[in-house]
Structure 1
Amino acid sequence: MRLSDVPDLGGFGLRPVTGLGLMDRRIDWVYTTDLIDPRRYLAGGELVLTSGGWYRHPEDPDRFVRSLARGRAAGLVAGDVVHGHLPEPLIDACDRHRLPLFAAPAHVSYGQLTRVIIERLSDDRARSLADLVQAQRGLALAAVGYGLAGITAQVAAATGRPCAVLSPTGRRVLGSPGAAEAYDRDTAHALAATARGRGRHGLPLYRPVDGRVATILPTGTHGTPAGYLVCGTDLLDGPENVRALVDLAAALCTPEMTSASASASASASIGDDAGDGPVLMLSYAVDGDRPDSAHAFDIAAELCDGLGGYHESGGTVCAAFDGDADTALRTVRANAELLGSCLPDDTRCAVGMAVAPTREDRERAAREAGTLRGMAADRPGAVSVLDGASLDPVRLLCASMPDEMRTLLHEHTLGPLLAYDRRNGTGLVETLRAFLECDASWQRCAERLHLHVNTLHYRISRIEQLTGRSLRSLEDRVQLYLALHA
């Protein structure tokens, strides 16, 4: 029942006075009061009936109407029994607070009016319940038969607006026709960011999108939301049966269903070989181990959002991209940063990536990405990303060595120096590092360490004695440099 139905209630002669543009508001209940501040008794959506017995002072109309507006009352019916007419201050207050006002003739019985409205609401709810049962059955069948595609299509049909399922980062997993335009990448990311800040108990959330109010609900039934269901209508002011249907739809969007949709989308979008053009090879691991396939497609989809299609197999992703490789690498880094803000606190993801300009380069790029992923796992942060451009060749060479070889090189070459520093509290290892990073320049190194050049000569001489290597020899300098980074 809507406010627009009120004037048609037979025999009462209720006349709209203010809020003619708000007649589409839904009426959920009817409530009679002459309290000056009845807000505590309102749940929202009530048609309030009053005789005006609360009117004692000039400021009372504004106080009364403000209380109704803050209690989200749908509208107000005021009789002229007490004052013989509708007071102008009451009309002004309703207009000011955007509360639709109806004038009731003196002969109207509020008891009879209440009975008629409640009967009408009961009839409406009975019809809504029957419609809801049928719609829920159709939704369940659509979910079983078509997954997220069926769910979003059913919600779109019920609301008349596009519907989409978003991942926690705001990646659009799937949507009904028109969802891509209604919830573009920037809009979807902004909606998800706002929803993440609220948590499950702070939802549903209502936000303007494209001139309308969209409703955002958490998917699943408990815990941290695995994503969000977005429909382009204000469910707060919508029919009760539609709200119940959308609530059920959000609960049916399980993480497994989201993963399956991402998997199907990935396979369909690029196939097994990604053509002959340049691709980005990604290797990733969650918590140090390769994730299972269901979780893998979530991570792969998040990292590749905004690129072309991709194909995933065993933690390695082959992703096509448009434009230059640097832009593709920046896109993945931005996606990884966003992903890191959504992962659980105890979860880490390491990512390595390399560009393969041609088909022949893909195997080499996949190996390079795998090596970089292993190095990224040792770095801090929820998501750590490395590509070849972010590393110098020495670090890459050291990372490619077996762990035993790196340990042996480090201890055999620098062991005496480390032991000397521990015994004497000196900083010869750091002096060696600074000297090599200053390209063996005595003056620059002395300035960097705030030492006299003679003191630096003494320290370097001591380093050569302890290590048995000469810093005038290029071969010895390379070995010492590798040992420092092993």
Structure 2
Amino acid sequence: MAHVPAFPGPTVAAIGERLFGRIDELADELTAAIRAAEPFYDAGNVVPTADLRSSIHDNLVYILSRLAGRATSDLGPPRATGRRRAEQGAPLPAILHSYRVAGTHIWSAIVEEGLGLDGNAEALLPAASELWSIMDELSSSVTDAYRETVVELTRSHAQTRNAMLDVLLHGDTGDGSRLWESAAGLRLPRQGVFVVAAAHAERLGAESIPHAEEALRARDIESAWRVEIDAHVGVVVLTPRNTIDRLCALLADLAGGPVGVSEQYHSLEQTPTALRQARLAYATGAQTERGVIRYEQVPIAVLLASAPDAAANVAHAVLGPVLALPAQECQLLLATLRAWFAEDGATSAAAAKLYLHRNTVRYRLRRVEELTGRSLTRPNGIAELHLALEAARILQIPM
């Protein structure tokens, strides 16, 4: 078996040393070559030319040290490049392309030096394999550092956005400057027409409306959202074109459950009040149903949701005898009563809705009157039964 000399061998080591001697010249050449080959770097406004050259110089030190046979294991230069480019917003494909351009340029320099040194091209073959191995190693390191930094930046960005939204949603306890700084950071106008939306979360800490900001922005609606423990909440900007009705229609399509929407307001200082309104509105909806509930359109339900203990007392005080019936009978009576209210007290319409004979509906309504002692022909009885029925629905009292 032929003896294979250990890398780098005298020829390659000599070339590595000679190239090390002209490292500044190579850094200049490579800077120009990369800017010519990669459009992203040619712009020069995201990654300044001096920054690019400094990174190239540091990476060349590592590459040429390896080729010259100098002991080195410091992958700091490519990792620093990856971190810095991620912070600058450079695309990863452009970074990796620049490393491929660098590898080709360095190989040309090796060949040129090697032929000028002893003209023995065969002696350069080990350098080719080693050079591309080094470039792969550098590319992997820069990629790892880039992705790690992107994750860190994303986490930091999310934390910053949450902090800014917290100022909006829960109020600025200082002089008000943080409110306007937060609005600017979230790209919300200081004055305008706003609403707060609160969507029911199926799981703790989950988005109820997937990618809400992007989904609304695609429809020219600006907003800022965050996930809270029990709800997905957002501040939404309305315009003459993007009205409250259009927003509610979109939210109904996008959300998988109930969404509460506050009254419209005109100053971000009113956002905490609007958040309470949106939460109360969404609390009045059945969690298993989709739909948008506007705060100002459901005053009775909002009143009950805002005082759950009192609402529970009303439900049990008025409907207690009905709730005490066997579950099936209780559900039949309350479903009939609910249909009667939904049809504005029209017995025939309620019967058609329930696919029942009108006499069956009359019988069930009389049964409710007998059990509760409330009359559906008197205003007080109608009001109390309606309030109790809504309280039972909102609080999901077992029936």
TM-score by length of 2: 0.49
Looking at secondary structure, tell me which structure has more strand per residue: 1
